[in-house]
Amino acid sequence: MRLVIQKDYERVSRWIAFLILFIFNSGFTAAQTNQLASFSDPANLWGNGVERIIEEAYRKCIRTKIIDGRVMNIRIPFAMNTERDILLKTPINFIEDGKGSPEILWPIIENILDSKEFAEYIKALSSGHEKVIIFDLVERSWSISSDLFIIARLKTDLFSGLPHRPYVLTSGRGATESDVYNYIYCIGLVGMDCSGFVWHVLSYTARKGGVDLGRALSSALGVSVRANYSQFIGTSFFSSKNSQIIQVTDEIRNLRPADVMLFRDVDGEVVHSAVIQSVDFKKGVIRYLHCNNFSLPEERGVHESFIYFDPSNPSASLKDPSLHWTQKRYAPFIGEDFNFADDGERYRNRANGGGKVIRLKALVPVIERLRK
């Protein structure tokens, strides 16, 4: 039953994305376009409450495009300063330090996708032969290797490049969504880190409720009301004892849309944040949104994940092992290290008490208004 619910939602999401592409790329009449736009409105799936607004914020991070003759969902990548410069003397700084909004990042991404250099990259992926693409984040360049030894090692996950020079095995049968992601990330140095995405969702939600979240938190952050607030919001703030942070007992019955889930690394440090989009107490489904790169290649960046629970037991904690977390974890690039098999195992990690859920005090009245 859980699998059926998830697959049904995924089919609806893909169909809506396909219709959105047609709206902007087809010769429909104004009336037909308006009908399709109405059908693709998040309100048709989520109503007019806070769930719809969070969904709107999420969709701003994904665009459907035709690339190499294929319909692709292009996601804003995950990008965090310091994650790939461990062997370097100078840091690799991503655009806007991983805190850029979709309004800032999409024009940059569109320019990348329209460039002659990107067209040459796409052409190289259609040679008909297996090859390895070697990216260099320092030089913001790529090269090709047809070394059979490297190809064989990559196929067995026994070989990887350096953190700043990841190796990618390609089939030669054309570009995939993952190939486009790799180029935007490695060559464009464009993306959001996890807290940058959560801030985008929360601040967008607050604006829809008539509140400037940055201004509301400026005093708590200790910054000027004219500051770029996104630069001061990170997992360290969400996991702090700041007066604006409400600790939520992580029983399912206590969870609300716009609550923030925090995950710890093996050493107990909070290193990842995600935002709850909806809690369906009847069907037993929690949908949460986040931006990370420890996912399937085609899911990396901004994406959705699900937790399934027994509707008859809403008092269960998110640490209850009976919950089913759909988000499996994978290496960002072939051969790289990663911890935990899935998000559930990561959340249950007992170091420093395991995962937790928080709520922003400044958002509480906004959420209440939007829920009405």
> How far is it, in rounded angstroms, from Cα 129 to Cα 137?
25
Within its chain, how far is the Cα of 223 from the centroid? 27
3-class SS of residue 246: strand
> How far is it, in rounded angstroms, from Cα 195 to Cα 123?
35
Is the full-model pTM beyond 0.85?
Answer: yes
C-beta separation of 207 from 109 below 8 A: no
The predicted-structure confidence for 205-261, as pLDDT tens digits, reads as follows: 999 999 999 999 888 888 876 778 788 888 889 999 999 999 999 999 999 999 999
pLDDT bucket at 102, cuts 50 / 70 / 90: very high
Would you state the structure tokens that stand for residue 273, as one six-digit string?
A: 């944040």
Q: Name the pairing type of β-strands 260-264 and 70-75.
A: unpaired
Average pLDDT over residues 92-105: 96
Which pLDDT belongs to residue 233?
85
Which pLDDT belongs to residue 33?
45
C-beta separation of 301 from 181 below 8 A: yes
Side-chain half-sphere of 274: how many Cα atoms within 13 Å? 27
